[in-house]
Amino acid sequence: MRTRLAMGGRMVAATALFVWAASARAQPPEATTYTAILDPIIACDTHDQISQVVQAIKDSRLKDKLTELAAIEDDTGEPACIYSPLSEVVFGDSEHIGRIEDQDRTIDAWISHVGNRNMEFYVLWGEEVEKTPA
């Protein structure tokens, strides 16, 4: 896809996936926004692949799913999904998929269609929802 992440790096990344509190990403950028994504983010070639990642988060199987999808190569020999910062992309439509429970955190998440000169792909965008005291 874009950048390969070593197997050990994918495992560490998977466990740290949704550490988005302090930098609160909030909603994804508006359509036609051109920006770099400096913090690591999950990016996949297809909407179906990123949807599988969302389901894996819900099923507490994220590490396994990322390992599986990273082993699938696209037609250029790159992994179908990565966890990495991304150089400049243009945002298209974003689909709000609601809240996802990830370990002891609640994430408000979106699937965003993005692209650059070379390709189009999908990213999982989210922000940690602060829990209100009981």
Return the pLDDT at 93.
Answer: 96
Return the pLDDT at 17.
Answer: 47
Return the pLDDT at 128.
Answer: 87
Spatial neighbors of 43 by CB under 8 A, at least 6 apart, are 1, 2, 50, 81, 82, 83, 84, 86, 114, 121, 122, 123, 124
15-24, 44-53, 58-67 — which is least confidently predicted?
15-24
pLDDT per residue as tens digits for the range 57-92: 999 899 999 999 999 998 889 999 999 999 999 999
- Judge contact between 69 and 78, C-beta under 8 A: no
Confidence of residue 4 (pLDDT cuts 50, 70, 90): very low
Q: Is the pLDDT of residue 52 over 80?
A: yes
For the entire predicted model, the pTM comes to 0.80
Domain ranges of the chain: 7-26+33-128
Return the pLDDT at 21.
Answer: 35
CA 132 – CA 46 distance, rounded (Å) = 35
